[in-house]
């Protein structure tokens, strides 16, 4: 059988072989995680007696959508939450986050980020970046945050002082993923500590989790430990590359009802919302999510190990704990960052002939380079890469529906960026 890497220079072949041997135990560990999470999902499908009839979607008002209601019970059970809101009307993770926050906050309330400044699109929602209508700032909602320590961890001393002195803080937000920062994403054990801290210092505050990229990346989730409200996207981890759109919220029943009222209308809430043919994808995507998420994580482990062999700065390291799909690679200059990103595009299933060009995008202050040959636009559980053209020129590589695809794409990107000049 032909060796898939035979076309590469001997030096690169040797590096790949070394990496494959080194990461094998870690990949086996990830397979065990997938097995555990898959078993939990399967048991919930059996518990709730999912049937063919549940895959039939509704139209119009969406009254009495049995499949939708059952799916939301499955989400609530999986995340160990009181209630869930799983809808195609939530167009993205950012939309779900905005819906959740606006449903809780009122004029003169303060949204406080425990994990530092949130990423670019949420800054636009808040109104600290951009010049957009309908921001929290326009509604008189205040915003505050505490910078992380130099090691990327929460500054609990400063946060305690802020929470004890600012009685207007109504929501304490925790961002699991690094976004466009170079800090490590927070593992669930760290988020558990944050939740316990907030409940002790400010028990009246609503604890909100931005969980995008995080679902199924570990065997536990922040809602297991008392998070009040959490948001995620359905065309990232929780949809396994099958779901074409939508997002979800899980959490306390009253907060889910409030978010539904905010999205639809007071008095209507969860009772309306047609599912327009989405239900089969929603169910199948959630069923496949444990497996597909681990495929992507295995690809990230390979990426980290190979690029570290090439002398690049990577975060997290290949053997570090994983809590999301994001792999950061620091290039420190724009040219190799752009070239590497272009290679990922060239080894995608769709639009492989396209050269990505840095450009301005809605929700971002800097030019962004982005490669995404995905079947669903913006589906970062599929292999993609992006990053803002600013110091330290960090490229964020996400996803991969199969480990094999990631290996092929990343290996060729290394070859073409560093060996072919």
pLDDT, residue 413, reads: 97
> Which residues are bridge partners to 232 per DSSP?
248
Provide mean pLDDT across the span 332-349: 96
Q: Is the pLDDT of residue 365 over 80?
A: no
Examine the pLDDT at 220 and tell me if it is beyond 80. yes
The pLDDT of residue 139: 97
Using the predicted structure, report yes or no on whether residue 1 has a pLDDT greater than 80: no
Q: Contact, 246 vs 35, CB < 8 A?
A: no
Question: How close are the terminal C-alpha atoms of the chain, in Å?
Answer: 30
Rounded-to-integer distance, Cα 356 and Cα 345, Å? 7
CA separation for the pair 397, 328 (Å, rounded): 6
**DSSP-derived pairing of the beta strands 247-251 and 229-233:** antiparallel
3 state SS for 88-102: CCCCCHHHHHHHHHH
pLDDT value of position 71 = 98
Say which residue the tokens 């989790």 belong to: 209
What mean pLDDT do residues 218-243 have?
A: 97
pLDDT band at 2 (very low <50, low <70, confident <90, very high): confident
With beta carbons less than 8 A apart as the criterion, state whether 207 and 198 touch: yes
Where is average pLDDT lowest: 51-65, 99-113, 356-370, 377-391? 356-370
Structure-token pair, residue 381: 């559980």
DSSP three-state, residue 62: coil
| The pLDDT value given to residue 179 | 79
The pLDDT of residue 120: 84
Indicate the burial class of 45 (C-beta count within 10 angstroms; 0-12, 13-18, 19 or more).
middle
Residues near 405 by Cβ (< 8 Å), separated by ≥ 6? 299, 349, 383
In whole angstroms, what is the distance from residue 312 CA to residue 388 CA?
Answer: 18
Q: Tell me the C-alpha distance between 19 and 299, whole Å.
A: 12
- Structure tokens, 214: 């995080």
Side-chain half-sphere CA neighbours of 116 within 13 A:
22
346, pLDDT greater than 70:
yes
Digit-coded pLDDT (tens) for 177-218: 987 777 899 999 999 999 999 999 999 999 999 999 999 999
Distance CA 118, CA 381 (A): 21
Residues 6+ apart with CB under 8 A from 408: 4, 347
Could you report the per-residue pLDDT of 269-283, keeping only the tens digit for each?
A: 999 999 999 999 999
Tokens 């001997």 -> residue: 10
Strand segments, DSSP code E, in 176-318 are: 206-210, 229-233, 247-251, 313-315
Which residues are CB-contacts of 142 (< 8 A; sequence separation ≥ 6)?
108, 109, 110, 111, 168
Q: Which residue has the tokens 């951009």?
A: 130
pLDDT-based confidence at 305, cuts 50/70/90? very high
Indicate if the pLDDT at residue 32 is higher than 80. yes
């Amino acid at each position: 059988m032909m060796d898939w890497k035979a076309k590469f220079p001997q030096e690169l072949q040797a590096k790949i072989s070394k990496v494959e041997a080194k990461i094998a135990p870690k990949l086996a560990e990830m397979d065990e995680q997938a097995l555990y999470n898959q078993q939990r999902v399967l048991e919930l499908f059996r518990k709730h007696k999912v049937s063919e009839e549940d895959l039939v979607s509704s139209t119009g008002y969406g009254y009495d959508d049995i499949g939708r209601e059952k799916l939301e019970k499955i989400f609530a059970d999986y995340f160990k939450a009181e209630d869930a809101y799983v809808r195609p009307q939530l167009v993205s993770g950012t939309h779900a986050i905005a819906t959740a926050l606006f449903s809780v906050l009122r004029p003169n309330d303060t949204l406080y980020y425990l994990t530092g400044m949130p990423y670019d699109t949420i800054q636009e929602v808040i109104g600290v970046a951009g010049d957009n209508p309908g921001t929290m700032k326009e509604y008189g909602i205040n915003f505050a945050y505490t910078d992380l320590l130099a090691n990327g961890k929460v500054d609990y001393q400063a946060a305690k002082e802020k929470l004890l002195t600012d009685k207007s803080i109504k929501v304490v937000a925790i961002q699991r993923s690094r976004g466009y920062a170079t800090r490590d994403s927070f593992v669930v054990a760290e988020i558990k500590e944050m939740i316990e801290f907030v409940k002790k210092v400010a028990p009246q505050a609503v604890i909100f989790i931005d969980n995008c990229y995080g679902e199924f990346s570990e065997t536990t989730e922040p809602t297991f430990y008392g998070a009040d409200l959490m948001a995620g996207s359905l065309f990232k981890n929780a949809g396994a590359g099958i779901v074409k759109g939508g997002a979800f919220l899980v959490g306390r029943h009253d907060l889910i009802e409030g978010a539904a009222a905010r999205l639809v209308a007071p008095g209507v809430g969860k009772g309306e919302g047609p599912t327009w043919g989405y239900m089969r994808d929603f169910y199948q995507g959630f069923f496949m999510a444990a497996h597909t998420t681990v495929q992507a994580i295995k690809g990230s482990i390979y990426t980290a190990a190979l690029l570290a062999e090439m002398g690049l700065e990577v975060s997290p390291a290949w053997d570090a704990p994983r809590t999301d799909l994001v792999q950061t690679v620091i290039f420190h200059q724009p040219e190799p960052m752009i070239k590497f990103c272009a290679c990922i595009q060239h080894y995608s299933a769709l639009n492989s002939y396209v050269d990505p060009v840095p450009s301005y995008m809605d929700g971002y202050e800097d030019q962004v380079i982005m490669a995404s040959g995905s079947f669903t636009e913006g589906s970062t559980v599929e292999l993609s890469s992006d990053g803002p053209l600013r110091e330290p020129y960090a490229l964020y590589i996400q996803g991969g529906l199969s480990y094999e695809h990631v290996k092929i794409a990343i290996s060729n990107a290394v070859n073409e960026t560093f060996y072919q000049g």
